[in-house]
Structures are given as C-alpha cells and as structure tokens.
Structure 1
C-alpha cells in the first residue's frame, strides 16, 4: 500500500505504535540483557570479594603460624571453623567450601559427610564434573569462574544455573571457592519485564488517546480547507473556511479566505470590463456599418462626377475645334457664334451641376470625417478598457505567483515537519494546482487581451489613415469648386462678349485667340478635375475597404469579449 494514500491520523498513530514497539524491542533485546549481564557481573564481584576476604583471614592465620604463635594444624583448624560459619547475601544461605589441589574436599558446611572425599567425581544434573573443573582452573590459572547446574538451596527438585569462583591459597595448597545462584537475577529480570510491559501498555493507551485527539485537531481544519479548495476548483468562490484554532492552520485559513476575496474582486472586475467591451464593440460595429454605407454613396457620387468631367472635357474639345475654325475665318465665327453661345450656356449649366455635386461630396465627406472621428474616439475608449483589463490580468498573474509561493512555503514547512506534515503537503499541492489552473486561465485571457489591443491599435491606425484621405478629398474638392467658380465666371463673361460680338468684329481675331487660350486652360483644369475625381474615387474605395476590415476586426473583438465572459462565468461569486 502506498503511503500517500494513508491518512494523517493513521500515520500519526502508526508512528506512535512504531516508536513504542522500537522502545520495547530496545528494552527486551538490548537493555534487559545488559542489565542481566551487569547483575551477573555484580554477583561475580561479590564472589570475588567473599573469596578475597576468606583468603585474607587465612593469610592472617598463616602469618601467625609463620611467626610461631600457632601451629599449622591449629591455623588450618581455626580457618575451617571460621569459614564453616561464614554466610553472606540477603538470605544468608551462601557459603564457602575448601578442597586441596587434588580435589579432596576439606570443607563443605552443608554436606560435612563429603569432607575428606574426592570431590572431582561429583557431577551436576547435566553430567559436568564441576568441582574437577574448578580445581583445574585453580591449579592452571590461580583463580577463575565456572558455571554449572545445581539445586536451588534446599529444594533438590529445583535445578538452576549457579556461578562458582575459586582461588588458590598456595602456602597451604588449598582451593577456596564459593557459588551464587543466578536465579535471583532472572527473577528480577522477569519482574522488570512485567513492569516494563505493563508500563508500555499504559503509556501506549495514553499516548494513543492523546495522539488521536491531536490528530483530529490537526486533520479537521485540513479537511475543511480541502473541501473549500474543491469548491474553488469547481468555480464556487462563495465559500469560506472557519477555523477556531490558534495555530498555523488558522493562519492558512485566513490566507485562503483572503485569496478567495481577492479572486472575487478580480473576476467581478473582469466580468464587468468584458461586458463593457462587448457593448463598445457593438456600438463600433454599428458606426462602421453607417460609415460604410456613406462611403459607398460617396463612391457613387464620385463616379457621377467623373462622368460629368468626361462630358465637360468632350465639350471643351468641341469648343477648341470651334476656336480653331474662328481663327481661320471671321465669317465662319459669326455664323457659328450662336452655336458657341448655346454651347457656353450648356457648359455653364453643367458647371452649376458639377458645383452642386461637389457640394454634396463635400457634405458627405465631412459627415464621413465626423463619423470617423467618433469611431476613433470609440476605438480609443475600447483601447483604454482593454488596457484596464490588461492591468487586471497582471494583478491576477501576480496573485497566482503569490499562491505558488504560498504553496511552496507550505510544502517546505510540511517537509520539515516530516511524516506529521504530509497533510500540509496535500493542502499545498491542492493550492498549487488551483494556482496553476488560475495562471493558465489568466495567460489565455492575457493572450486574448493582447490580440485585442493589437487589432484595436491597427483599427485606430486605419481610421487615422482614412481620416487623412477624406481630408485630402475635401481639400481637392475645395480646389475643384474654386476652379469651377472661376470657369463659371469666365463663361459668364464669354456670354456677354458674344452679345457684343457683332459690334466688335474688328477685334474677333484677338478675342478668338484669347478664347482659344482660355479654353486650353479650361481643358487643362477639367483634366485636373477628372484626375482629382479619380483620386477621390480611389480614396473612397480604400475607405470602404478599410471600413469593411474594421468591421471584421470589431466582430473579432466581440468574439474575444464573449470568450472572456465565458471564462469568467465558470466562477460563482
């Protein structure tokens, strides 16, 4: 089973159980054997001390013998008598025995009948010749320990391990020895084992109850945060976390609630701005449709002006041919004067019509310029709104970075806490995922806003270019109107001159020359008018194309605004 699927409560209880188990293993497998070894060593020290005291007493008697105060037999008798009554340890049942270097038993307080017999033939219940081994160690090493099996004091049926210690008293050839049962040590160890077991069980129950309480105190706030995080991941920002504790979980809950409040404000602003953006794009589309219609009307008017200028140019050619004929014959000039007057009158009417058309073109162009100005203002407002959205997206991006930093800090703290902090790691991971999803949505929104800004800026540039084209059209139409006024004035003078032509035949040749020159100039002016009208038509066609492209751009902006609204509608504020 993977540890990541184990709850925090179970982990804490498992850790407690593991630590108590390790403690028990340490006590039973290491500490108690060490205590047993220590107690056995103390038993050995007691044996050594008893034997050394006995040897000291025997050595005192030996010194008296050497000093001649007592005989050897008396000294040995005193030693045997004194050691026969020697008892030690709490029960006063332990004694000292004596044998010679050949294994002959000299003293045994509890079995006097064995005194004088060969003790090397004695065996313990396992068949070991323990006294023989003692004598051998005493002869070879001077002193040493032997472990053997023997009855527990007076109970012949109770056989237990016993430690014996022997040491040689060389002047007399004696082997002084004694033994201690280690059953007392084992009983003490058993009592310790029972006490430790009961204590460990009580400690385990108490610590388990305490740890369960602490685990519940830790896990419940984490479960609340986890449930709230799931709601946020599903788009519900209406929930908050209420934690009454005063530890780090309360700080985490406060930070989490602050994050929810910030997300509410930001997403509410984005929704409002996207709604305003959609409304602005609809207004812009309506203005563009009106502008396109007006531009198409202007294009039709310029085509009519072009046709009129072509007719005017053809009339000027006719007049020029007439003036050429006048210069060749004055009589022919008189004959054709009436026709010339009629042609000039018609041309004046055409000039008047042309002036009317140019006035209409001027009015339409001015209206188009005003519409473009309004559209330009709307585009700037949309650009400002888009910039506001960009700022808000930047704020959201910064908040997302802070969430990641908070998640990283929580993960670090959880790692420091070890297994007990894995719950914080789960919360940090959930918060990190939420931050990643929020960052992804914000990057999509930022990309949409960036595209929106670029297209709006492109639309503004096209509007400014179109405005300059229309202003140029107005200037050219104004110049054309001025020239038409000049032409009209010249035609009026020409008609007056035709009324007096019969009275001034003498000056017809000069006047014919002047008329021919004037007509040539007029023809050049008409050609310029035709060129200007053609340029106006081309400019208007460009304006129409730009307006259509701007209309397409506004549709794209509307789609992006709708997409922004969809992105924000998944959240419940």
Structure 2
C-alpha cells in the first residue's frame, strides 16, 4: 500500500541521497582538480628540473669545448694539420667523456684525433655538423647514434677563422651516457617515463622500441603515429592529455633546453592522477550508507508522528461511512488536542457527525408515522379503483367500434391526400424538367451558331496562312538570287585582284616609269580585297536570312496543319450538336404527353377525395357521444390509478426510508423509541 508513511520516508530518503550525492560529486570533482593540478605542477617542475640538468651538462661541455678551441687560437695551430692532430689526440686522452675530436676544412680535407682515416670520397663540408655550424655561425649541437659504441653521442661544433677567413669547422663528439641514463631512470611520478627530443624533433631518449634509432638514423617524432605527438614540442610548458603508444591515456609535459633548443619531458598515466581518489570514493560510499540508514530511521519516526492523526481521522470517517455514529471519540479528541490544521479538520468532522446524528434521529421518528398513514389511504383507493374499472370497461367497448370506423375513414382520406401531393410534385417536376430541356436546347442552338462562326474564321485563317506561305516561298527564291549575285561579285573581285597583281608585276618590270601605275594597281588590289570581305559578310547575312526564312516556313506549315485538324474537329462537333438537338426535341414532346396524362389523373383524384371526406365526417359524428363517455370514465379511472400508484410509491419510499434509518447506529443518549 502506498501509504503516507512510506511516501514521507521515501521523499526524505530521496532528498538526503540527492544532497549526499551532490556533495560527494562536488568534493570528488574538487579533489580531482586539486590532485591533477598538484601532479601537473609536479610534472612541470620535473620537466624544468631535468631541462636545467641537460642544459647545465651541455653548458659545461660547451665551456670545455670552447677552451679547446681557444687553445688552438692561443697556440696558433689552427692552420697546422700536424700540430692539430697531436693536440686532438692529447685532449682525447685527457677527457674520456670525449669519443672523438676532429676538424673539417673548407678545402674538404679532414683531420681526426682518434686516428680515423676517412675514405677518399669523404667530404666533411657535406656533414650535418659542418653545415649547421656554418648556418648558425656559432656553437651547434648535432646528436647521432654511434654504431660502434651503440650509444647516443652529441657533436658540438663551431667555425674556425683566421684573419677573417673561414678555415673550417672543428667538432667534438661527447658521450651522452650520463644524460640518457638520468632521463631513462627519472620517474617523478610512479609508472611515468622521460623522453628527450632534439631541435629537429628526432627522438634521443624514449622507452618505446619503435622510436629507437634504426642503425645510425634517428626516428622523427613527427613521423610516428601520424604526427600526433608534435603538440608535445609545440606547446612548451603545457600539460597535454592524449593516448600513448601503449593505448593508455596519459598526461605529457615538456620543457625546452635553452642551450640546444632540445625538449625534455615526462609522460604519466592518467590513472596515477586519480588513484588517490579511490579512498575518497570509498569514504563517501560509507558515509552515504550510514546517512541512508539514519535517514530511514529518522524519516520513519517523523512519518509515524505525521500519519497517526491522519489514521485517527480516517478511522472516524470510515465509521461514519458505515453509518456507525457510535464510534470511539477518544481518537478524534487526541487529534483536536494537537491544535494544528488536522485538529481543525477533526473539529469539522465532529460537528458534522453531531449534525448527521440529529437529522437521522428526526427522520427515523417521522418515517413510522408516514408508513401508517400511507397504508390506510392505499386500502381505500384500492376499493374505489375496482368499481371504476367495471364502468370504464363497458364504456370502452361501446366507443371502440365507432372509433375504429372513423380511423379507417381518416386513413383512406390521408392516403388520397398523400397521393394528390405526390401527383402535384410529379407535375411540377415534369414542368421543371421540360423547362431545363428548353434551356439546354437554347444553349445547344447557340453553340451550333458559335461553331459555325468559328469554322468560317478558321477558313479565313487558312487562306491567310496559305498567302503567307506563298510569300515566304517567293522571298526564299529571291534570297537565292541574291546569293547568285553575291557569288558573281566575289568572282569579279577575285579577277580584279588577279589583274591588279599582274599590273603590279608589269609596273615593277617597267621600273621608274611604272611606279605611278604600280600605286594605282596597289589601290585597286586593296579595293578588291575590301570588296571581297564585304561580299563575304553579305553572303553570311544572306545565309542567316535564308535560315530564318526556312524556320518561319516550317512554323507556318505547322500552323496550317493545326488549322486543318481544328476544322475537322469543328465539323465533328457540329454534327454532335445536331444529334443532341434532335434528341432534345423528341424528349420535350415526350414530357408534354406525360404532363397531360398526369393532369387527367389529378382531375379524377379530386372527386374520390371529396367522397371519402363525406364518409369520414359522418363516422366522426356518430362516435363522438360514445367517445365522450368513455373518455370521462377513463379519465376518472386514470386519476384513481395515478393516486393509487403514487400512494404505492409513497408506501415503498416509507419502507425504504425506515430500512435506511434502521441502519444508522446512534449513541445511546440519541436513541428515540416511537410509540
């Protein structure tokens, strides 16, 4: 049962659960944000820390390298290959962290402190360390994977000049074991790993095998996984969240190394950021369970306190609904003593109960007297009704025969009147039908005249089209003559051009004496060319006119064909209208004959109706006396019967009222005994 107690308990429990859920969710999100910020700061600090370590290591090695270069200048051996070779060997022995010390000259020669002899086609100017040093004109760092030691090495290089003239590039290879080991072992947060990327996005340190060097070639971070990791180097100092090579979602942080513009950073699984939140979740669940249990107990107690007065009021109302006014008043009194809204309801129920008790008691006392009076009146009415029924029976038999005769006569009169009305309707409809056919005949005659007029106009239109066709054909023939004339002009122009050319040749042969004639021949030839061009344009226009004439001729032929088809259709329509006219004339004659026959039937009907009316009048007079007598007796009998029925109903109502009142259970001080 969905009781108030259950609803109150459920509502309070739901409210508490929602509040606890919102509180727990808020604390979880705040704690999560705090932890992520703490770990993010820790990652950023670690990245900056190891960036400073690498930067310090490079600075220290760079200082040593610059000391070597400065000694080369101080000892004035920068252009003495033999002394340089000995000097390089000495430095290699003094510093085991240097794997090689060498120099490439602009003349493509190369000296090496390790004793390595380059092949004949070796060109140091093509090497990365040489080209980078020239491009930056300072100290550069070029890392690579040494196939001999199987370890990472970085080349520190710089240019060497004398008297402002570039001699070459000196470079030393430094083992990176100390740095790579530090980064590989660095784990600022559990399950994290470090990585090192050079300024060309080549991977120097990374735990994933597919990013390890392939022979002496370093792997580019931009070529791995479609370049998804390039944001690591682009967004320096920011925390980036993405899925790593192993499919685990991780946070990445990175910092730039000032000396070399390399990037050092760390990757930490996202789960490490949130694992400390598990204990918070468990604690929140325990608190939630405890609060739910306390809420159930507390809400149940409150629900009982609230629902007890309602249960008492419900008990009283149910007793009143059962017509029992002798209920336990203590329950209602306990609710009234609370002096709240429910107490007001209890007071109203108590007042209603007293009022109903008084009313029921009064009805019960009166119902007994009504029942006795109605029984005596009913007995007297039964005796009167028996006598009146015998008189009514005799009068009814006398009047029934007269009434029957009158009814039959009236029915015959009504049938004839109905027949007369139908005949009149038929006559009216026939006249209307005739009028409609006359209108249709008139419209049909008008249509025939219109079709004949239209047929005459189409014939005139055909004549006009024929004349236009003949004119267009004449125009086409004349255009052909124009073409012939144009062709003749073109032929004359060609001959004139040829004669002008021959005249020019003869004038040239004549020499100085033929110069004037040569000018005239040139002008004639120019005029001939212009005439030829004009004739060509005229020919083009004439051809376009001929095409337009042919198009118009085709359209005129189509119009002529259409007019011919319309004439045929008009002839057939005229024939159809003639057939309709003949059929309408025949239909009008038939309708006239039908109206005449209907009028004859209507005349005979009037005499029959008059005879039936006389018979009905006589029958009606003869039955009036017996009907008046029967009606009077019947009216008196009906009145007695109505009174008898009413008294029987009153008696039944009194009995039912007594039964209903007897169901009320009144208190002892309200009971009344009728005498």
Q: TM-score, normalised by structure 2?
A: 0.31
Q: Which structure exhibits the higher relative contact order, with contacts defined as CA atoms closer than 8 Å and separated by 6 or more residues? A: 1
TM-score, structure 1 length as denominator? 0.36
Which structure shows the higher helix fraction?
1
Of structures 1 and 2, the larger Rg is shown by 2
